[in-house]
Amino acid sequence: MSRPAVKPAHPHSRHGHPGSKPQVKELVPTLKRLAGYLARRKGLLFLVVLMVAASSALGLLGPYLVGIAIDDFIITKDEKGLVLLLALLGVVYIFYSLATFLQSYWMVGVAQKTVFEMRTELFTHLQQLPLSFFDKRQHGELMSRVTNDIENISSTLNSSVIQVASSVLTLTGAVIVMLYLSPMLTAITLLIVPLLYIGMKWITSRTRRFFKEQQRHLGELNGFIEEAVSSKHIVKMFSQEEKIALAFNERNAKLKETGFWAQTYSGFIPKLMNMLNNISFALIAGAGGLLALHGYVTVGVIVVFAEYSRQFTRPLNDLANQFNTLLSALAGAERVFDILDTEKEEEQADEFPLHHVRGDIEFRKVSFSYEKGNETIKEVSFKADKGDMVALVGPTGSGKSTIINLLARFYDPDNGAIFIDGYNTSTIPRQELRKHMGFVLQDSFLFEGTIKENIRYGRLDATDEEVVKAAKSANAHSFIMKLPDGYETKLQSEGSGISQGQRQLLAIARALLADPAILILDEATSSIDTITEMHIQEALNRLMEGRTTVVIAHRLNTIRRADQILVLNQGRIVERGNHEELIETEGHYASLATASQL
């Protein structure tokens, strides 16, 4: 006597497909790319598949042996044979449990190594994307892709991959054994498949859309939270707590709505499985009883079919319980691959490194726009020789920061060209170009870590003595030594725990340590008290010695000694000259100086 098996699961080939063709086209490439990552673990995957096959076969063997026990030993009252068969049944289930454990253990290893690679690849890719990519996206939403979306993929690989493979093997084996035992009862059992197909198609056409929206709304909510937390001082200054709470509730409500419908529709699947399982069991019991009365099947066969009918939808039930994770992971994978498919800040084949930089700068009729049709700077031209100080002044939005961004190749000009030492910057690798530049910005960013580590960020191979020397030159050494742990004092996120002026002094020390040929200053002394400004200005004077310096000026005393002052307005240079020359012309610069806007 023979019997079918234990875990029939038919991972319906369309179970993850959305209802419309465009969505199917998105799903198939996503699955293929995930499979490509898994293929890198071929050895472990082979062992997993081997254990899945073994557990499926042993699971199918169990009910088959139960049928033999009924027909050959219980009905015939063969006690000895029954005991031996029960012992065999025990061995089968012991090895079944071992195979199940090993497949899960090895699959966890595959999953963790896979998501480790994906997370590393995603984070590395983010570092290579142009600034324009980050300008258009919330930081919290990007963080959600690196964390939440990757974690969803991890959960799915840990469970669903094994479940799908086990379901296919179990269902195939079950059908083969059932056909061998009774084609008629098999046909009756398979009557539920069309109902299953219709139900799954109706549910999945809706569920995947909601899960994709849920991931999108989750990313938006994370982005909003990140922005709200980072701007908490501004919120409190303007007493906008109620407004920001309302904005949060609005986004949270959208996430709740899509999450509700995603979970509701996916919750229909296990209920559908249970209903079809009960229908199948009733059909087998009724039809099997009639066939047994006429001698077409034995009692053991009916018991086996009853067991198979109950287990026919069990793997699908398991899939249904994980369906939320499966669809959520596919939506997350699409979001991850969307970033990975974004073009990197590639270097051109004809680019070459600059090993020694004097610091000569030239802009030739440079025009640039962040958005097409809205030029930020227009035909800007100027020269600065080694050691010169060039100051950029003008109202907000005149293009000062844009000139800095173009000089550092954070963006490339739409028209015109920029030259360093006579070489077009478009032919110089970006990282190589920036190695010869030092930046001291108005809001200097400090990393979580020690003061020594933050200064050494300017040149990672610097010795402790060089770090201290840079700090002394930046007038930072005295305040550092007054801290509890000196240079080993740990700073919190963004340098909280020390004053704005002290942060600026550390930023100057970092730039001094880098020893750049070109120095870019986004006025480091704004919003600083007079005494601290004197220390910072003294440090800046040391920093600027022998270096070509481009300054975005906010204060008049910073630019009085500039070799060249460029006055910008609406993206064009409207005046140029030194301080005395521009004052004498009584033009735009003189008006700004008189009105104390510099």
Residue 446: the pLDDT is 83
How far CA 356 is from CA of 92, 155, 353, 359, 383, in Å, comes to 74, 51, 9, 9, 19
Report pLDDT digits (tens) over 133-153.
887 777 777 887 888 788 888
Banded pLDDT at 313 (limits 50, 70, 90)? low
Average pLDDT for 430-437: 86
In this model, does residue 9 exceed pLDDT 60? no
Least confident of 98-107, 123-132, 523-532: 523-532
Angle, CA 8 vertex, CA 179 and CA 300 arms, to 5°: 50
Residue 160: the pLDDT is 72
Q: Which residue type is seen at 461?
A: D
Q: How does the average pLDDT of the chain come out, rounded?
A: 80
In this model, does residue 367 exceed pLDDT 60? yes
Banded pLDDT at 308 (limits 50, 70, 90)? confident
Residue 511: the pLDDT is 87
pLDDT > 90 fraction of the chain, expressed in percent and rounded: 15
How far CA 270 is from CA of 24, 257, 265, in Å, comes to 23, 21, 10
Residue for token pair 């046909």: 187
Could you tell me if 407 and 368 are in contact, meaning their C-beta atoms sit under 8 angstroms apart?
no
Average pLDDT for 186-197: 76
Could you tell me if 49 and 42 are in contact, meaning their C-beta atoms sit under 8 angstroms apart?
no
Q: Which residue type is seen at 512?
A: L
**Beta-sheet pairing, 449-450 with 564-569:** unpaired
Average pLDDT for 178-194: 79
| 416 φψ region: left (φ > 0), alpha (ψ -120 to 50), beta (else) | left
Residue 318: the pLDDT is 62
Residue 13: the pLDDT is 34
Report pLDDT digits (tens) over 154-166.
877 877 778 777 8
Rg (Cα) of the chain, in Å, rounded? 35
Residue 16: the pLDDT is 36
How far CA 508 is from CA of 270, 368, 390, 471, 502, in Å, comes to 63, 30, 18, 8, 10
Residue 378: the pLDDT is 94
Least confident of 19-28, 180-189, 273-282: 19-28
Average pLDDT for 297-310: 76
Average pLDDT for 388-415: 90
Report pLDDT digits (tens) over 562-571.
899 999 999 9
In this model, does residue 351 exceed pLDDT 80? no
Residue 403: the pLDDT is 94
Average pLDDT for 192-210: 73
**Beta-sheet pairing, 572-577 with 564-569:** antiparallel
Residue 567: the pLDDT is 93
In this model, does residue 80 exceed pLDDT 70? yes
Higher pLDDT, 1 or 415: 415
For 361-594, CATH number out of 3.40.50.300, 3.40.50.11860, 3.40.50.620, 3.30.750.24 equals: 3.40.50.300
Average pLDDT for 204-230: 77
Cβ neighbours for 440, distance < 8 A, ≥ 6 positions apart: 504, 507, 508, 511, 519, 520, 521, 522, 524, 540, 543
Residue for token pair 């094994």: 162
Interatomic CA distance for residues 378 and 86, integer angstroms: 88
**Beta-sheet pairing, 572-577 with 415-420:** unpaired
Residue 548: the pLDDT is 93
The DSSP letter of residue 229 is H
Report pLDDT digits (tens) over 495-551.
567 888 888 888 888 888 888 899 998 865 555 566 666 777 777 777 788 889 999
Residue 22: the pLDDT is 30
| Residue from 140, 134, 135 nearest 227 by CA | 140
Banded pLDDT at 320 (limits 50, 70, 90)? low
Enumerate the β-bridge partners of residue 362: 383, 419
| Residue from 310, 278, 303, 308 nearest 289 by CA | 303
Residue 187: the pLDDT is 81
CATH topology (fold) of 21-340: ABC transporter transmembrane region fold (1.20.1560)
List the domain boundaries for the chain.
21-340, 361-594
| Residue from 270, 254, 278 nearest 323 by CA | 270
pLDDT > 70 fraction of the chain, expressed in percent and rounded: 85
Residue 576: the pLDDT is 93
Banded pLDDT at 17 (limits 50, 70, 90)? very low
